[in-house]
Amino acid sequence: MKVPPLSERPVTEEDEQDFLASPSRRKKCSLADRRAALRPWAIGVGLTVLVAVAAVGAYTLGASIGSWNDRPSTAATPTVHPAPMPSVSSEAAMSGGYEIGPDGVLVRPAEFAADTYTKPELPEAAKENSERGAEAAAEHYLALMVYAWNTGDTELFEEMSASDSQFAREVTQRIRSLYDEGWLYNDSSIVEHVLKLEPAEASDGDGADNAVAVVLAINSVDGTICQKKNIYVHEQQYHSIFALVLTWDDGHWVVTRAGMEKTDD
């Protein structure tokens, strides 16, 4: 409500009587009138401030959620359970049902311990120097990568990778970094379709000797991840394209190049 200036107010008979009244009375009436006139204005300003604060809060929350979705993580927004500070009288410090170990990292549940995972065995088909052999070897390589994530044991994955494979080096570094201060279980990847299976081309466009390109469509779940005292649960499935180039070398397949890209929006 806008209060007009005194000079613009209409002069009425009542106004004239008030003006002719004693100075003290005019002063009291004027003060009362001003307070009454300013009250709706003050309420309006207060509501405006509240709306502005609520708008800023909503924008901040939306930006935070957007930043979570924009992170190059493992598909789903993690559910985080931060660990409380342990009390002095507690016998075993706990966080979200997990015991906190002496190194400050949550203790991995025994039923999901690394030794509960069986090492993938190389299929007989993967021992053949053929396109079918390369396809089986590519699926075995994926199984070795999943095993490495679930256990922290990257030895078999590295053995099947070429020494100069950037993909293998990055995956191995990430797994080791995770297990330095945490662990992971229930990671999985299943091959849905073989999208490509053909002799690989060299950089000059010619066919490479003993090399086969394999492209797989896979369905994955990242499982439960522990980072120090936080638990991140990723149960949502997502789809990816896994492309590999395998070379037959000294009686077995070696992954010389590889790359993975998420296809879900």
Are 112 and 217 within one domain? yes
Question: Any residues with CB less than 8 A from the CB of 222 and at least 6 apart, and which?
Answer: 74, 75, 76, 184, 187, 234
Two tokens at 18?
Answer: 């008030």
Are 194 and 251 within one domain? yes
Q: Can you give the CATH number for the domain in which 142 is found?
A: 3.10.450.50
Are 53 and 146 within one domain? no
Are 55 and 166 within one domain? no
The pLDDT assigned to 97 comes to: 73
Domains of the chain: total: 2
The pLDDT assigned to 265 comes to: 53
Put the strands of the sheet holding 252-262 in their side by side order.
188-201, 207-221, 238-249, 252-262
Are 108 and 201 within one domain? yes
Are 237 and 138 within one domain? yes
Give the predicted TM-score (pTM) of the model.
0.65
Are 120 and 230 within one domain? yes
Question: Any residues with CB less than 8 A from the CB of 15 and at least 6 apart, and which?
Answer: 9
Q: In terms of residue numbers, what domain contains 229?
A: 94-262
Tens of pLDDT, residue by residue, the chain (265 residues): 444 443 444 444 444 444 444 444 444 444 445 445 444 444 443 434 333 333 333 333 233 323 323 223 333 333 333 333 333 333 445 666 789 999 889 999 999 999 999 999 999 999 999 999 999 999 999 999 999 999 999 999 999 999 999 999 999 999 999 999 999 999 999 999 999 999 997 554 555 678 999 999 999 999 999 999 999 999 999 999 999 999 999 999 999 999 999 997 5
Task: Evaluate whether residue 54 is within a structural domain.
Answer: yes
3-state secondary structure of 77: coil
Task: Evaluate whether residue 73 is within a structural domain.
Answer: no
**Is the Cα torsion angle 189, 190, 194, 200 positive or negative in sign?**
positive
Indicate left, alpha or beta for 152 from its phi (over 0: left) and psi (-120 to 50: alpha).
Answer: left
Task: Evaluate whether residue 86 is within a structural domain.
Answer: no
**How far apart, in whole angstroms, are the C-alpha atoms of residue 40 and residue 35?**
9
Two tokens at 142?
Answer: 């994926």
- Do residues 245 and 211 lie in contact, with contact meaning Cβ atoms separated by under 8 Å? yes
**How far apart, in whole angstroms, are the C-alpha atoms of residue 101 and residue 50?**
46
